Amino acid sequence: MNSITKAVVVVPPIQDFYFTYHRFSSLGACIVQEIAGSFFKECQLLNFPLDDSGPRTIALPKEIRYLKNYIIPDETGPLSFFRTYNRYGSSIDSCAKKIIDTGASCCLLSVFAFCYANTAIHLIKKIKQLKPELCVIAGGAGVSVAPELFLHNTLVDYVVKGEAEVSLPLLLKFIQGKNTVNRESIPNIGWRNENGIVLTNGIKFTEANEIIASAVKTFETQKKLYITTTLSRGCRYKCEFCSNRLAQGSNFRTVSPDTLKEQLLTILHTENSLKKVNINFEDDNIMHDYEYLITVLKMCKKLSPDCTFSFENGIDYRLLDTEKCSQLIRLGVCQFNFSLATANSDIADNQRRIINIARLDELYLLLQSASIPVITYFICGFSNDTHQTIIDNLKFIYTRSTLAGISMFYAVPGIEGFKHNTPDTGTIARYAGSSAFPWNSSLSTVTLLTAFRLSRLVNLIRQPQKSELELKLLMQIKRERRLFTIVKNQEKKPEFIEPHWQDYEMVKRFLTEVNE
């Protein structure tokens, strides 16, 4: 295999109801490209979800066709659910052809979430059909939690669990024929041989000095440039619903500010210097080292004095206080996203999730006085969730100066309750939060989707400016004590209809308890 000189790093297309373009940074794929660039004369990145082909509506996968009855095709407006299931990126055939056309002898697939594993599996099959000799390596968070799934269902040559920095350099040395590397000694990898599947023992994580910093431009407008980065790996907490530690471990560690500075300078020097800059940090646990965070923010301010900051994946309110929050505002944090998970102490205890409502209320008051927007996210569908706990979560947000963000619970192979879950390719689409699958059997799909609409109702009520149509919608909901939504009729004029699958009891109880 020592003839391998050209590689291609691939982010497969994604299938889901929605896709957040400005959040899709593919930082892991960029790190893989940097590593592979040291081993190959050429290394190209093909990020198919961002290939400008746009979303294409496709049929619902068989495993989530239960959602068909809940989708209202012409629905629009602030209380709507999703209307279409889409593929973001080109077709599998087109992607495979583009990969083959690069002339690469090694293809490295980065699968960032398990719920999107199916497109990666189909792409690997097509690549191997067109060019069997192409060496294919699959990694990323989506592979790390179920490596056997890829080895069982495709002819992938190798899978990589966990962080690329740990094992990918050694694996690339091996496939290039470097005699100094013994395959069995490489941590975190798997392959097939004549006896079946082989996974090397244990899992190893990076040390802080091994982490490769990565920052990318994700979006821009006429006046603003948006950059996304991550500063850390691992999490000390043991929240049962979280899969972070499966791929990154429980030891919290951070990247060198100097290496991040180099990444940011590269972006800033190649972009329009007149545009304002916003830097989004995807770490939801960066508050584990507050002094480090402040050092990084001050460094960024020296590079771009007018830059602002956001934490779209969430910032840990439990490690904030009003003094720290005020300092972050002064440094340019323009929005706070808080991950509440649940306001119910019993559910929080069951999930090993610490909550601090008093602390959160102090922060809400401060942020309201500073006119800083806040979104608070809660999870709907824990094993001991009930109608009342969901209503209580919605009431909690309704009575505070924050918008609601709802995350419908989704399983990940390896988390508590699903440690021995054996997924197959016929169920993967259910693992997306948007699929509203009742993983814990505590709440039905109807109740999950009703909670989704109620969270949007909370945001509409809190919205300071409402159109005449939105005001009429709210009046009808309050008058009839059930949910309505907006559709466009044949004349393209808006009208109200009632989603008949809603959980009427929960809607009535919520409206009653918030006095609406």
Tens digits of per-residue pLDDT, 136-149? 999 999 999 999 99
Could you tell me which residues come within 8 angstroms of residue 194 by beta carbon, excluding any fewer than 6 positions away? none
Q: Is the pLDDT of residue 419 over 90?
A: no
What's the rounded Cα separation, in Å, for the pair 236 and 288? 8
What's the rounded Cα separation, in Å, for the pair 406 and 343? 13
Per-residue pLDDT band at 3 (split at 50, 70, 90): low
SS3 284: coil
The whole-number average pLDDT for the span 123-134 is: 98
Within 10 A of 42 (CB to CB), how many other CB atoms are there?
A: 13
Q: Is the pLDDT of residue 489 over 50?
A: yes
Could you tell me which residues come within 8 angstroms of residue 52 by beta carbon, excluding any fewer than 6 positions away? none
Residue pair 406/452 in contact (Cβ under 8 Å)? The answer is: yes
**And the tokens for 503?**
């959980």
Helix axes 504-513, 445-462, angle to 10 degrees: 30
The whole-number average pLDDT for the span 482-499 is: 93
179: in domain: yes
Q: Is the pLDDT of residue 243 over 50?
A: yes
Q: Is 487 left (phi over 0), alpha (psi -120 to 50) or beta?
A: beta
Question: Which pLDDT score, from 0 to 100, does residue 322 have?
Answer: 98
Question: Which pLDDT score, from 0 to 100, does residue 423 have?
Answer: 87
Residue entry with tokens 């808080």: 338
Boundaries of domain holding 186: 6-54+89-199
294: in domain: no
Residue pair 192/237 in contact (Cβ under 8 Å)? The answer is: no
Tens-place pLDDT, residues 181-229: 789 999 999 999 999 999 998 789 999 999 999 999 999 999 999 999 9
332: in domain: no
Could you tell me which residues come within 8 angstroms of residue 469 by beta carbon, excluding any fewer than 6 positions away? 77, 486, 494
Could you tell me which residues come within 8 angstroms of residue 53 by beta carbon, excluding any fewer than 6 positions away? 89, 90
Q: Where are the beta strands (DSSP E) in 241-399?
A: 253-254, 276-281, 308-310, 336-341, 374-380
Burial level of 59, CB count in 10 A (0-12/13-18/19+)?
exposed
463: in domain: no
Residue pair 418/437 in contact (Cβ under 8 Å)? The answer is: no
Question: Which DSSP string do the residues of 450-487 spell out, in sequence order?
Answer: HHHHHHHHHHHHH-SS--HHHHHHHHHHHHHTS--EEE
Tens-place pLDDT, residues 93-123: 999 999 999 999 999 999 999 999 999 999 9
**And the tokens for 250?**
């429980």
Residue pair 190/244 in contact (Cβ under 8 Å)? The answer is: no
What's the rounded Cα separation, in Å, for the pair 393 and 355? 13
Q: Is the pLDDT of residue 394 over 60?
A: yes
Residue pair 87/15 in contact (Cβ under 8 Å)? The answer is: yes
**And the tokens for 192?**
């097939």
User: CATH no. for residue 48?
Assistant: 3.40.50.280
What's the rounded Cα separation, in Å, for the pair 127 and 92? 9
Within 10 A of 2 (CB to CB), how many other CB atoms are there?
A: 8
Question: Which DSSP string do the residues of 212-248 spell out, in sequence order?
Answer: PP-EEEEEE-SSEEEEEE--EE--S---TT--HHHHH
181: in domain: yes
What's the rounded Cα separation, in Å, for the pair 55 and 52? 9
Nearest to 16 by CA among 477, 428, 366: 428
Phi, psi of 225 (to 5 degrees): -115, 130
- Torsion of the alpha carbons at 464, 470, 471 and 472, rounded to the nearest 10: 180
What's the rounded Cα separation, in Å, for the pair 171 and 6? 15
The whole-number average pLDDT for the span 153-158 is: 96
Residue 495, beta-bridge partner list: 487
Tens-place pLDDT, residues 290-304: 999 999 999 999 999
Question: Which pLDDT score, from 0 to 100, does residue 271 have?
Answer: 78
What's the rounded Cα separation, in Å, for the pair 149 and 120? 11
Could you tell me which residues come within 8 angstroms of residue 66 by beta carbon, excluding any fewer than 6 positions away? 445
DSSP class of residue 66 equals: G
Length of the chain: 516
As a whole number, the mean pLDDT across the chain is 95
Residue pair 229/282 in contact (Cβ under 8 Å)? The answer is: yes
Domain count along the chain = 1
241: in domain: no
Question: Which pLDDT score, from 0 to 100, does residue 251 have?
Answer: 96
What's the rounded Cα separation, in Å, for the pair 80 and 457? 10
Per-residue pLDDT band at 1 (split at 50, 70, 90): very low
20: in domain: yes
Q: Is 188 left (phi over 0), alpha (psi -120 to 50) or beta?
A: left
Which residue has better confidence, 416 or 422? 416
State which H helix or E strand residue 109 sits in. strand 106-110
Residue entry with tokens 């699968």: 111
23: in domain: yes
